Amino acid sequence: MRYKKYFRKTSLKQKGVGDFFLSEIAQKKPKTFLEVGVFHGVTARNVCELLYSIHGNDFNYIGLDLFEEKDETINEVIPNTKFKNPLKTIYFNYIKRLDPYSIEGVEDLLKKFKNNVSLIKGNSNTILKKIDMSKIDYVFLDGGHDYLTVMNDLDCCNEVLINNGIILCDDYDLSYAPGVKQAIDEFTIANKLKCQIICNDRFAKIEKN
Ligand SMILES: C[S@@+](CC[C@H](N)C(=O)[O-])C[C@H]1O[C@@H](n2cnc3c(N)ncnc32)[C@H](O)[C@@H]1O
């Protein structure tokens, strides 16, 4: 399946990266997928299309995001939510009248899968501790890029790995967010996990050894 952009912004925009990402998910065929860092929901929609093509309606997607740019996100790298393309600005501001970086905006993009999707607005540092990880078999970690946040997110999702699931982390080796690599390296060594760096150092794929 090809990765589509749905006239929105996504961090998987670089040529071939989205397709690579979907081929990774397709290998594992997860039934319950968690994405930390939903942004405009483009990856969410692609994942739902893929899981629908594999399982029909028998899948779940859970997405978590701050959906806001406030003080508490001061240490976080929030992608620019403004469009460079003026047509997209006009489309969302005057035709759709919807902010694509909002829970309502993402719900709109995912409405085809509304019975499979749960979206949560909040900070992963508080929300992940409350999520039942026992059914989740795939995590795409692409939320906060601060060392402590990535460490928190990995710790909270450790049960997924114990149950033979996968955590795929984006932005493993970003020069302006070195905390991602540091947290992943420390977490995988401390827990004796298998960690493969794939797609030209873009993703860290973590699983049980
Ligand atoms: C790189 S974007 C995610 C891109 C998205 N996964 C995609 O493929 O298009 C990172 C997102 O993480 C969110 N975020 C940052 N820190 C967070 C936190 N502590 N908890 C939850 N979401 C967070 C930001 O609001 C932003 O939307």
52 in Cβ contact with 113 (< 8 Å):
yes
For residues 148 and 94, the model is more confident at 148
Q: Ligand 1 centroid vs 42 CA: distance in angstroms?
A: 12
Query: Helix, strand, or coil here: 31?
Result: coil
If you take atom 25 of ligand 1, which residue's CA is the nearest one? Answer: 66
pLDDT score recorded for residue 14? 94
Q: 65 pLDDT exceeds 80?
A: yes
Confidence of residue 133 (pLDDT cuts 50, 70, 90): very high
CA distances to 8, 84, 98, 175 from 105, rounded to whole Å, are 11, 18, 6, 31
State which ligand 1 atom lies nearest to the alpha carbon of 81: 27
Residue from 118, 109, 9, 104 nearest 63 by CA: 118
33 in Cβ contact with 59 (< 8 Å):
yes
Mean of all residue pLDDT scores within the chain: 94
**What residue ranges line ligand 1, CB within 6 angstroms?**
10-12, 35, 37, 39, 42-43, 64-66, 73, 76, 78-79, 123-125, 142-144, 149
Q: Where are the domains of the chain?
A: 17-207
Q: Ligand 1 centroid vs 194 CA: distance in angstroms?
A: 25
How far is the C-alpha of 174 from the C-alpha of 193, rounded, in Å? 22
Q: Give me 46's structure tokens.
A: 């692609």
In this prediction the pTM is 0.94
Beta strand 203-207 with 138-141 is: unpaired
Q: Which CATH superfamily is domain 17-207 in?
A: Vaccinia Virus protein VP39 (3.40.50.150)
pLDDT score recorded for residue 94? 87
